[in-house]
Amino acid sequence: MPRVVVVSPPFSSHAEPLASLAAALRRTGADVHFACAPGFQDLAHRAQVLFETLVVTRNANTGVAESTAQSSRDAQRLADFLESTRRGAVSALLTQAAHRRDDMLPDPGAVLDAMRALHARVRADWYVVDQLSYPVTLALHCLRLPYATLCPGHPSYVLGSDDAFFGMPHSWPSRIRPTSQDLAALQASVKDNDRAFTAAFADVARSSAPGSPSPGRAFALTSSHAVVYSYPHLPWLPARPHGPAHFFAGHMVGLQRPLPARWVDRVTKLRGDGRRLVLVALGTFLSARDDVLRAVARSILESFDDVGVIVAGGGRTAALEDLAGERCLVFPTVPQQALLEQVDAMVHHGGANSFTECLRAGVPAVVLPFSSDQFSVAADAERAGVAAVLDPNSLSERDVPNALRTLWSGRRRPLGIVAAGAVRERGPAWAATQLLEAMSRPQGHHHRTG
Protein backbone atom coordinates (compact mmCIF):
# COMPACT_ATOMS: atom_id res chain seq x y z
CA MET A 1 0.00 0.00 0.00
CA PRO A 2 1.71 3.25 -1.11
CA ARG A 3 1.73 6.16 1.30
CA VAL A 4 0.71 9.41 -0.39
CA VAL A 5 0.67 12.96 0.96
CA VAL A 6 -1.65 15.36 -0.86
CA VAL A 7 -0.39 18.92 -0.28
CA SER A 8 -2.86 21.77 -0.72
CA PRO A 9 -2.61 25.56 -0.58
CA PRO A 10 -5.09 27.17 1.87
CA PHE A 11 -7.68 28.18 -0.73
CA SER A 12 -11.11 26.52 -0.85
CA SER A 13 -11.28 26.32 -4.63
CA HIS A 14 -7.98 24.41 -4.65
CA ALA A 15 -8.29 22.44 -1.42
CA GLU A 16 -11.65 20.87 -2.22
CA PRO A 17 -10.54 19.21 -5.51
CA LEU A 18 -7.34 18.02 -3.83
CA ALA A 19 -9.33 16.60 -0.91
CA SER A 20 -11.59 14.82 -3.40
CA LEU A 21 -8.52 13.28 -5.01
CA ALA A 22 -7.19 12.32 -1.56
CA ALA A 23 -10.46 10.51 -0.80
CA ALA A 24 -10.32 8.70 -4.15
CA LEU A 25 -6.70 7.63 -3.58
CA ARG A 26 -7.72 6.23 -0.20
CA ARG A 27 -10.57 4.25 -1.78
CA THR A 28 -8.16 2.96 -4.41
CA GLY A 29 -5.96 1.48 -1.68
CA ALA A 30 -3.39 4.13 -0.77
CA ASP A 31 -2.50 5.29 2.74
CA VAL A 32 -3.29 9.00 2.35
CA HIS A 33 -2.43 12.13 4.34
CA PHE A 34 -3.84 15.57 3.52
CA ALA A 35 -1.49 18.46 4.31
CA CYS A 36 -2.83 22.00 4.54
CA ALA A 37 -3.34 24.97 6.87
CA PRO A 38 -5.24 24.27 10.12
CA GLY A 39 -8.50 25.80 8.87
CA PHE A 40 -8.87 22.99 6.32
CA GLN A 41 -8.74 20.00 8.67
CA ASP A 42 -12.45 19.35 8.09
CA LEU A 43 -11.74 18.46 4.46
CA ALA A 44 -9.42 15.67 5.60
CA HIS A 45 -12.12 14.45 7.99
CA ARG A 46 -14.71 14.36 5.20
CA ALA A 47 -12.24 12.55 2.93
CA GLN A 48 -11.47 10.07 5.76
CA VAL A 49 -7.73 10.61 5.50
CA LEU A 50 -5.13 11.72 8.04
CA PHE A 51 -4.43 15.43 8.39
CA GLU A 52 -1.02 17.08 8.52
CA THR A 53 -0.67 20.75 9.42
CA LEU A 54 1.38 22.56 6.78
CA VAL A 55 1.45 26.30 6.14
CA VAL A 56 2.91 27.18 2.74
CA THR A 57 1.69 30.77 2.31
CA ARG A 58 0.37 33.65 4.41
CA ASN A 59 -2.63 34.06 2.15
CA ALA A 60 -5.76 32.01 2.74
CA ASN A 61 -9.35 31.78 1.59
CA THR A 62 -11.68 29.53 3.56
CA GLY A 63 -14.75 30.28 1.44
CA VAL A 64 -15.18 34.05 1.18
CA ALA A 65 -11.87 35.85 0.65
CA GLU A 66 -12.89 39.15 2.25
CA SER A 67 -14.08 37.37 5.41
CA THR A 68 -10.95 35.24 5.87
CA ALA A 69 -8.60 36.42 8.64
CA GLN A 70 -5.43 37.87 7.12
CA SER A 71 -2.77 40.49 7.75
CA SER A 72 -3.39 44.14 6.91
CA ARG A 73 -0.82 43.89 4.11
CA ASP A 74 -2.55 40.88 2.57
CA ALA A 75 -5.95 42.57 2.95
CA GLN A 76 -4.62 45.63 1.13
CA ARG A 77 -3.32 43.49 -1.73
CA LEU A 78 -6.75 41.90 -2.04
CA ALA A 79 -8.36 45.35 -2.10
CA ASP A 80 -5.88 46.53 -4.74
CA PHE A 81 -6.64 43.48 -6.86
CA LEU A 82 -10.40 43.95 -6.63
CA GLU A 83 -10.06 47.60 -7.60
CA SER A 84 -7.92 46.63 -10.59
CA THR A 85 -10.66 44.35 -11.91
CA ARG A 86 -12.85 47.44 -12.33
CA ARG A 87 -10.33 48.86 -14.81
CA GLY A 88 -10.45 45.82 -17.07
CA ALA A 89 -8.71 42.57 -17.98
CA VAL A 90 -5.12 43.72 -18.46
CA SER A 91 -5.23 45.94 -15.38
CA ALA A 92 -6.23 42.95 -13.26
CA LEU A 93 -3.56 40.73 -14.79
CA LEU A 94 -0.86 43.38 -14.31
CA THR A 95 -1.84 43.78 -10.65
CA GLN A 96 -1.68 40.03 -10.16
CA ALA A 97 1.76 40.01 -11.77
CA ALA A 98 2.94 42.77 -9.43
CA HIS A 99 1.70 40.79 -6.42
CA ARG A 100 2.97 37.44 -7.63
CA ARG A 101 6.16 37.22 -5.53
CA ASP A 102 4.34 38.03 -2.26
CA ASP A 103 1.39 35.79 -3.15
CA MET A 104 3.23 32.77 -4.49
CA LEU A 105 6.80 32.78 -3.19
CA PRO A 106 6.99 34.71 0.10
CA ASP A 107 9.44 32.39 1.91
CA PRO A 108 10.56 29.37 -0.15
CA GLY A 109 13.30 28.46 2.33
CA ALA A 110 10.76 28.08 5.16
CA VAL A 111 8.54 25.92 2.94
CA LEU A 112 11.52 23.72 2.11
CA ASP A 113 12.22 23.27 5.83
CA ALA A 114 8.55 22.48 6.49
CA MET A 115 8.44 19.89 3.70
CA ARG A 116 11.65 18.30 4.96
CA ALA A 117 10.11 18.02 8.44
CA LEU A 118 6.85 16.66 7.01
CA HIS A 119 8.71 13.96 5.09
CA ALA A 120 10.68 13.02 8.20
CA ARG A 121 7.36 12.47 10.03
CA VAL A 122 5.37 10.71 7.35
CA ARG A 123 7.92 9.09 5.03
CA ALA A 124 5.56 9.15 2.07
CA ASP A 125 6.28 7.13 -1.04
CA TRP A 126 5.17 10.08 -3.13
CA TYR A 127 3.33 13.38 -3.01
CA VAL A 128 0.60 15.17 -4.92
CA VAL A 129 1.01 18.96 -5.16
CA ASP A 130 -1.07 21.79 -6.59
CA GLN A 131 0.58 23.27 -9.70
CA LEU A 132 0.25 26.76 -8.22
CA SER A 133 2.07 25.80 -4.99
CA TYR A 134 5.41 26.70 -6.51
CA PRO A 135 7.43 26.70 -3.24
CA VAL A 136 6.14 23.18 -2.46
CA THR A 137 7.08 21.97 -5.93
CA LEU A 138 10.52 23.55 -5.50
CA ALA A 139 10.92 21.86 -2.10
CA LEU A 140 10.00 18.44 -3.50
CA HIS A 141 12.46 18.99 -6.35
CA CYS A 142 15.27 19.97 -3.98
CA LEU A 143 14.54 17.04 -1.66
CA ARG A 144 14.39 14.67 -4.66
CA LEU A 145 11.03 13.29 -3.58
CA PRO A 146 8.71 11.75 -6.19
CA TYR A 147 5.53 13.70 -6.78
CA ALA A 148 2.60 14.16 -9.14
CA THR A 149 1.07 17.50 -10.04
CA LEU A 150 -2.60 18.49 -9.97
CA CYS A 151 -3.39 21.44 -12.24
CA PRO A 152 -6.50 23.05 -10.70
CA GLY A 153 -7.14 25.67 -13.38
CA HIS A 154 -6.68 26.05 -17.09
CA PRO A 155 -4.20 23.48 -18.53
CA SER A 156 -2.01 26.31 -19.83
CA TYR A 157 -0.86 26.78 -16.21
CA VAL A 158 1.45 23.85 -17.03
CA LEU A 159 3.77 25.53 -19.52
CA GLY A 160 4.29 23.45 -22.64
CA SER A 161 6.68 25.63 -24.64
CA ASP A 162 9.41 28.25 -24.25
CA ASP A 163 7.13 31.00 -25.56
CA ALA A 164 4.37 30.33 -23.01
CA PHE A 165 4.39 32.46 -19.86
CA PHE A 166 2.48 32.15 -16.63
CA GLY A 167 0.06 35.07 -16.31
CA MET A 168 -0.48 35.54 -20.06
CA PRO A 169 -3.83 34.06 -21.15
CA HIS A 170 -3.57 31.31 -23.71
CA SER A 171 -6.63 32.67 -25.51
CA TRP A 172 -9.24 35.42 -25.23
CA PRO A 173 -13.02 35.29 -25.63
CA SER A 174 -14.58 37.24 -28.47
CA ARG A 175 -16.02 40.04 -26.28
CA ILE A 176 -12.72 40.78 -24.50
CA ARG A 177 -9.89 41.82 -26.83
CA PRO A 178 -7.09 43.89 -25.25
CA THR A 179 -5.20 46.39 -27.38
CA SER A 180 -1.78 45.49 -28.75
CA GLN A 181 -0.26 48.11 -26.43
CA ASP A 182 -1.88 46.54 -23.35
CA LEU A 183 -0.80 43.07 -24.44
CA ALA A 184 2.78 44.26 -24.88
CA ALA A 185 2.80 45.68 -21.34
CA LEU A 186 1.41 42.41 -19.97
CA GLN A 187 3.94 40.36 -21.94
CA ALA A 188 6.81 42.41 -20.50
CA SER A 189 5.46 41.98 -16.97
CA VAL A 190 5.03 38.21 -17.14
CA LYS A 191 8.50 37.81 -18.66
CA ASP A 192 9.97 39.81 -15.78
CA ASN A 193 8.19 37.51 -13.34
CA ASP A 194 9.49 34.48 -15.18
CA ARG A 195 13.08 35.67 -14.83
CA ALA A 196 12.66 36.71 -11.18
CA PHE A 197 11.06 33.44 -10.08
CA THR A 198 13.63 31.38 -11.99
CA ALA A 199 16.47 33.26 -10.28
CA ALA A 200 14.81 32.81 -6.86
CA PHE A 201 14.38 29.06 -7.46
CA ALA A 202 18.05 28.75 -8.42
CA ASP A 203 19.13 30.64 -5.28
CA VAL A 204 17.10 28.34 -3.01
CA ALA A 205 18.43 25.23 -4.71
CA ARG A 206 22.05 26.41 -4.44
CA SER A 207 21.84 27.47 -0.79
CA SER A 208 19.50 24.83 0.67
CA ALA A 209 20.06 21.78 -1.53
CA PRO A 210 23.42 22.16 -3.29
CA GLY A 211 23.39 18.53 -4.46
CA SER A 212 20.04 18.81 -6.23
CA PRO A 213 19.76 19.33 -9.99
CA SER A 214 18.95 22.81 -11.26
CA PRO A 215 15.21 23.51 -11.09
CA GLY A 216 15.43 25.36 -14.42
CA ARG A 217 12.62 27.66 -15.45
CA ALA A 218 10.48 28.17 -12.34
CA PHE A 219 6.97 28.26 -13.80
CA ALA A 220 7.75 25.24 -15.97
CA LEU A 221 8.82 23.09 -13.01
CA THR A 222 6.29 20.28 -12.71
CA SER A 223 6.17 16.57 -12.08
CA SER A 224 8.22 14.38 -14.38
CA HIS A 225 5.90 11.46 -13.49
CA ALA A 226 2.29 12.55 -13.94
CA VAL A 227 0.07 15.63 -14.23
CA VAL A 228 -3.66 15.52 -13.53
CA TYR A 229 -5.86 18.27 -14.95
CA SER A 230 -9.23 19.19 -13.43
CA TYR A 231 -10.37 19.94 -16.96
CA PRO A 232 -11.74 18.23 -20.09
CA HIS A 233 -9.35 17.31 -22.90
CA LEU A 234 -10.40 19.87 -25.53
CA PRO A 235 -8.75 19.51 -28.95
CA TRP A 236 -7.41 23.08 -29.16
CA LEU A 237 -5.58 23.17 -25.83
CA PRO A 238 -1.87 24.11 -25.98
CA ALA A 239 0.73 21.37 -26.34
CA ARG A 240 1.67 19.54 -23.14
CA PRO A 241 5.30 19.28 -21.99
CA HIS A 242 7.05 16.09 -23.00
CA GLY A 243 7.89 13.61 -20.22
CA PRO A 244 5.10 13.06 -17.70
CA ALA A 245 1.82 11.27 -18.27
CA HIS A 246 -1.04 13.76 -18.69
CA PHE A 247 -4.50 12.86 -17.38
CA PHE A 248 -7.56 15.03 -18.08
CA ALA A 249 -9.93 14.07 -15.30
CA GLY A 250 -12.68 16.64 -15.77
CA HIS A 251 -14.12 17.94 -12.54
CA MET A 252 -13.13 16.68 -9.08
CA VAL A 253 -16.60 16.17 -7.58
CA GLY A 254 -15.91 13.39 -5.10
CA LEU A 255 -17.06 15.33 -2.03
CA GLN A 256 -20.40 16.42 -3.50
CA ARG A 257 -23.27 16.21 -1.03
CA PRO A 258 -27.04 16.22 -1.69
CA LEU A 259 -28.94 19.49 -1.67
CA PRO A 260 -29.85 20.27 1.96
CA ALA A 261 -33.54 20.08 2.80
CA ARG A 262 -33.78 23.82 3.49
CA TRP A 263 -32.47 24.48 -0.02
CA VAL A 264 -34.94 22.02 -1.53
CA ASP A 265 -37.73 24.10 0.05
CA ARG A 266 -36.18 27.35 -1.21
CA VAL A 267 -35.84 26.04 -4.76
CA THR A 268 -39.42 24.75 -4.74
CA LYS A 269 -40.75 28.16 -3.66
CA LEU A 270 -38.59 30.02 -6.18
CA ARG A 271 -39.80 27.86 -9.04
CA GLY A 272 -43.37 28.84 -8.23
CA ASP A 273 -45.56 28.13 -11.26
CA GLY A 274 -42.86 26.74 -13.50
CA ARG A 275 -40.23 29.47 -13.27
CA ARG A 276 -36.76 28.89 -14.60
CA LEU A 277 -33.89 29.44 -12.15
CA VAL A 278 -30.54 31.17 -12.68
CA LEU A 279 -27.66 30.83 -10.23
CA VAL A 280 -25.36 33.88 -10.06
CA ALA A 281 -22.00 33.25 -8.36
CA LEU A 282 -18.62 34.89 -9.00
CA GLY A 283 -16.41 32.73 -6.79
CA THR A 284 -14.79 33.19 -3.41
CA PHE A 285 -12.77 36.29 -4.34
CA LEU A 286 -14.89 38.05 -6.94
CA SER A 287 -18.14 37.94 -4.98
CA ALA A 288 -16.75 41.27 -3.71
CA ARG A 289 -17.76 42.75 -7.08
CA ASP A 290 -21.26 43.36 -5.77
CA ASP A 291 -21.82 45.97 -8.49
CA VAL A 292 -21.70 43.19 -11.07
CA LEU A 293 -23.81 40.82 -8.96
CA ARG A 294 -26.44 43.55 -8.60
CA ALA A 295 -26.44 44.46 -12.29
CA VAL A 296 -26.79 40.83 -13.37
CA ALA A 297 -29.54 39.93 -10.90
CA ARG A 298 -31.52 43.10 -11.56
CA SER A 299 -31.33 42.73 -15.35
CA ILE A 300 -32.68 39.17 -15.14
CA LEU A 301 -35.48 40.05 -12.74
CA GLU A 302 -36.57 43.07 -14.81
CA SER A 303 -36.35 41.28 -18.18
CA PHE A 304 -38.21 38.09 -17.26
CA ASP A 305 -41.44 37.54 -15.32
CA ASP A 306 -40.91 33.78 -15.21
CA VAL A 307 -37.29 33.49 -13.97
CA GLY A 308 -36.01 33.25 -10.40
CA VAL A 309 -32.49 34.14 -9.28
CA ILE A 310 -30.18 32.80 -6.57
CA VAL A 311 -27.21 35.07 -5.77
CA ALA A 312 -24.05 34.06 -3.87
CA GLY A 313 -23.23 37.43 -2.31
CA GLY A 314 -20.15 36.52 -0.26
CA GLY A 315 -19.11 39.30 2.10
CA ARG A 316 -21.37 41.75 0.26
CA THR A 317 -24.64 39.95 1.02
CA ALA A 318 -25.93 42.72 3.27
CA ALA A 319 -25.43 45.27 0.48
CA LEU A 320 -27.54 43.11 -1.85
CA GLU A 321 -30.38 42.29 0.54
CA ASP A 322 -32.76 44.72 -1.18
CA LEU A 323 -32.78 42.34 -4.18
CA ALA A 324 -34.30 39.53 -2.13
CA GLY A 325 -37.96 38.77 -2.68
CA GLU A 326 -40.39 36.27 -4.15
CA ARG A 327 -38.15 35.64 -7.16
CA CYS A 328 -34.69 36.25 -5.70
CA LEU A 329 -32.63 34.77 -2.86
CA VAL A 330 -29.30 36.22 -1.68
CA PHE A 331 -26.97 34.23 0.61
CA PRO A 332 -23.26 34.56 1.45
CA THR A 333 -22.50 31.08 0.11
CA VAL A 334 -24.54 28.45 -1.70
CA PRO A 335 -24.19 24.67 -2.24
CA GLN A 336 -23.16 25.28 -5.82
CA GLN A 337 -22.59 21.73 -7.08
CA ALA A 338 -25.90 20.49 -5.72
CA LEU A 339 -27.80 23.58 -6.89
CA LEU A 340 -26.53 23.11 -10.43
CA GLU A 341 -28.68 19.99 -10.62
CA GLN A 342 -31.71 22.24 -9.97
CA VAL A 343 -31.14 25.38 -12.09
CA ASP A 344 -31.53 26.23 -15.77
CA ALA A 345 -28.43 28.42 -16.19
CA MET A 346 -25.53 29.87 -14.25
CA VAL A 347 -23.74 33.21 -14.43
CA HIS A 348 -20.15 32.77 -13.23
CA HIS A 349 -16.68 34.27 -13.45
CA GLY A 350 -14.93 31.66 -15.57
CA GLY A 351 -13.28 29.71 -12.76
CA ALA A 352 -12.27 26.23 -13.87
CA ASN A 353 -14.37 24.63 -11.12
CA SER A 354 -17.51 26.50 -12.19
CA PHE A 355 -16.84 25.68 -15.84
CA THR A 356 -16.47 21.95 -15.24
CA GLU A 357 -19.31 21.84 -12.71
CA CYS A 358 -21.64 23.35 -15.31
CA LEU A 359 -20.40 20.88 -17.92
CA ARG A 360 -21.00 17.97 -15.58
CA ALA A 361 -24.53 19.14 -14.74
CA GLY A 362 -25.35 20.03 -18.35
CA VAL A 363 -26.12 23.63 -17.37
CA PRO A 364 -25.47 26.45 -19.89
CA ALA A 365 -23.59 29.47 -18.57
CA VAL A 366 -23.01 33.16 -19.02
CA VAL A 367 -19.34 33.76 -18.23
CA LEU A 368 -17.99 37.09 -16.94
CA PRO A 369 -14.18 36.71 -16.70
CA PHE A 370 -12.20 39.13 -14.54
CA SER A 371 -8.64 37.81 -14.01
CA SER A 372 -6.17 34.90 -13.83
CA ASP A 373 -6.97 32.01 -16.17
CA GLN A 374 -10.63 33.02 -16.45
CA PHE A 375 -10.15 34.50 -19.92
CA SER A 376 -8.77 31.22 -21.26
CA VAL A 377 -11.51 29.21 -19.54
CA ALA A 378 -14.16 31.58 -20.92
CA ALA A 379 -12.73 31.25 -24.42
CA ASP A 380 -12.90 27.46 -24.14
CA ALA A 381 -16.50 27.54 -22.90
CA GLU A 382 -17.44 29.87 -25.76
CA ARG A 383 -15.66 27.76 -28.37
CA ALA A 384 -17.25 24.55 -27.07
CA GLY A 385 -20.67 26.15 -27.42
CA VAL A 386 -21.68 25.73 -23.77
CA ALA A 387 -21.57 29.39 -22.70
CA ALA A 388 -21.93 33.00 -23.74
CA VAL A 389 -19.12 35.33 -22.64
CA LEU A 390 -19.55 38.99 -21.73
CA ASP A 391 -17.27 41.72 -20.37
CA PRO A 392 -18.29 42.22 -16.71
CA ASN A 393 -17.21 45.86 -16.78
CA SER A 394 -19.34 46.93 -19.74
CA LEU A 395 -22.66 45.14 -19.24
CA SER A 396 -25.78 46.71 -20.63
CA GLU A 397 -29.21 45.96 -19.16
CA ARG A 398 -29.95 43.66 -22.08
CA ASP A 399 -26.69 41.71 -22.31
CA VAL A 400 -27.27 38.94 -19.77
CA PRO A 401 -30.99 38.44 -20.57
CA ASN A 402 -30.22 38.24 -24.30
CA ALA A 403 -27.42 35.75 -23.63
CA LEU A 404 -29.78 33.60 -21.56
CA ARG A 405 -32.41 33.65 -24.32
CA THR A 406 -29.81 32.43 -26.80
CA LEU A 407 -28.60 29.69 -24.47
CA TRP A 408 -32.18 28.56 -23.82
CA SER A 409 -33.01 28.48 -27.52
CA GLY A 410 -31.49 25.00 -27.71
CA ARG A 411 -28.67 25.71 -30.12
CA ARG A 412 -25.89 23.68 -28.52
CA ARG A 413 -22.77 22.55 -30.33
CA PRO A 414 -21.96 18.81 -30.43
CA LEU A 415 -18.49 19.43 -28.99
CA GLY A 416 -20.03 20.83 -25.82
CA ILE A 417 -22.11 17.67 -25.42
CA VAL A 418 -19.02 15.49 -25.92
CA ALA A 419 -17.00 17.53 -23.41
CA ALA A 420 -19.81 17.29 -20.85
CA GLY A 421 -19.95 13.53 -21.30
CA ALA A 422 -16.20 13.20 -20.77
CA VAL A 423 -16.41 15.24 -17.55
CA ARG A 424 -19.21 13.05 -16.19
CA GLU A 425 -17.38 9.82 -17.06
CA ARG A 426 -14.15 10.73 -15.31
CA GLY A 427 -13.37 12.54 -12.07
CA PRO A 428 -11.34 11.80 -8.93
CA ALA A 429 -11.82 8.00 -8.93
CA TRP A 430 -10.56 7.76 -12.50
CA ALA A 431 -7.68 10.15 -11.73
CA ALA A 432 -6.66 8.16 -8.63
CA THR A 433 -6.46 4.93 -10.63
CA GLN A 434 -4.38 6.57 -13.34
CA LEU A 435 -2.06 8.17 -10.79
CA LEU A 436 -1.38 4.99 -8.87
CA GLU A 437 -0.61 3.20 -12.12
CA ALA A 438 1.67 5.99 -13.38
CA MET A 439 3.59 6.30 -10.12
CA SER A 440 4.22 2.54 -10.06
CA ARG A 441 5.99 2.66 -13.42
CA PRO A 442 9.70 3.49 -13.81
CA GLN A 443 10.39 7.13 -14.56
CA GLY A 444 10.71 7.79 -18.27
CA HIS A 445 7.88 5.40 -19.23
CA HIS A 446 5.01 7.84 -18.98
CA HIS A 447 4.51 9.72 -22.25
CA ARG A 448 0.71 9.49 -22.32
CA THR A 449 -2.07 12.02 -22.67
CA GLY A 450 -5.66 11.09 -22.08
State the CATH number of the domain containing residue 150.
Answer: 3.40.50.2000
Closest CA to 82 of 223, 298, 286, 251: 286
Check pLDDT > 60 for residue 8.
Answer: yes
Question: Is position 336 within any domain?
Answer: yes
Closest CA to 313 of 304, 322, 305: 322
What span, in angstroms and rounded, lies between the C-alpha atoms of 284 and 11? 9
* Average confidence (pLDDT) over 229-238: 92
Burial 335-361 (b: 16+ CB within 10 A, else e): bbbbbbebbbbbbbbbbbbbbbbbbbb
Q: Which residues does residue 128 pair with via DSSP β-bridges, in sequence order?
A: 6, 148
Please indicate, yes or no, whether residues 145 and 248 belong to a single structural domain of this protein.
yes
Question: Is position 120 within any domain?
Answer: yes
Tallying the residues shown for the chain, one arrives at 450
Question: Is position 191 within any domain?
Answer: no
Check pLDDT > 70 for residue 413.
Answer: no
336, amino acid identity: Q
Please indicate, yes or no, whether residues 11 and 158 belong to a single structural domain of this protein.
yes
Check pLDDT > 50 for residue 65.
Answer: no
Please indicate, yes or no, whether residues 271 and 410 belong to a single structural domain of this protein.
yes
Q: How confident is the model at residue 211 (pLDDT cuts 50, 70, 90)?
A: confident
Range of 416's domain?
Answer: 261-424
pLDDT value of residue 60: 53
* Average confidence (pLDDT) over 184-210: 94
What would you report as the CA-atom Rg of the chain, rounded to the nearest whole angstrom?
A: 21
The CB density around residue 198, as the number of other CB atoms within 10 Å, is 18
Task: Give residue-wise pLDDT tens across range 279-322.
Answer: 999 998 899 999 999 999 999 999 999 999 999 999 999 999 99
Q: How confident is the model at residue 227 (pLDDT cuts 50, 70, 90)?
A: very high
pLDDT value of residue 9: 92
Please indicate, yes or no, whether residues 271 and 296 belong to a single structural domain of this protein.
yes
Please indicate, yes or no, whether residues 420 and 435 belong to a single structural domain of this protein.
no
The CB density around residue 60, as the number of other CB atoms within 10 Å, is 21
pLDDT value of residue 251: 84
Closest CA to 148 of 285, 16, 18: 18
Please indicate, yes or no, whether residues 15 and 161 belong to a single structural domain of this protein.
yes
Question: Is position 373 within any domain?
Answer: yes
Question: Is position 43 within any domain?
Answer: yes
199, amino acid identity: A
Closest CA to 176 of 417, 349, 341: 349
Please indicate, yes or no, whether residues 391 and 436 belong to a single structural domain of this protein.
no
Task: Give residue-wise pLDDT tens across range 321-377.
Answer: 999 999 999 999 999 999 999 999 999 999 999 999 998 888 999 999 999 999 999
Q: How confident is the model at residue 166 (pLDDT cuts 50, 70, 90)?
A: very high
Please indicate, yes or no, whether residues 142 and 272 belong to a single structural domain of this protein.
no
Task: Give residue-wise pLDDT tens across range 169-183.
Answer: 999 999 999 999 999
Burial 141-169 (b: 16+ CB within 10 A, else e): bbbebebbbbbbbbbbbbbbeeebbbbbb
Please indicate, yes or no, whether residues 334 and 410 belong to a single structural domain of this protein.
yes
Closest CA to 400 of 286, 274, 301: 301
Question: Is position 87 within any domain?
Answer: no
Please indicate, yes or no, whether residues 245 and 312 belong to a single structural domain of this protein.
no
Please indicate, yes or no, whether residues 435 and 415 belong to a single structural domain of this protein.
no
Number of domains in the chain: 2
Question: Is position 193 within any domain?
Answer: no
Q: How confident is the model at residue 422 (pLDDT cuts 50, 70, 90)?
A: low
Mean pLDDT taken over the chain: 90
Please indicate, yes or no, whether residues 310 and 237 belong to a single structural domain of this protein.
no
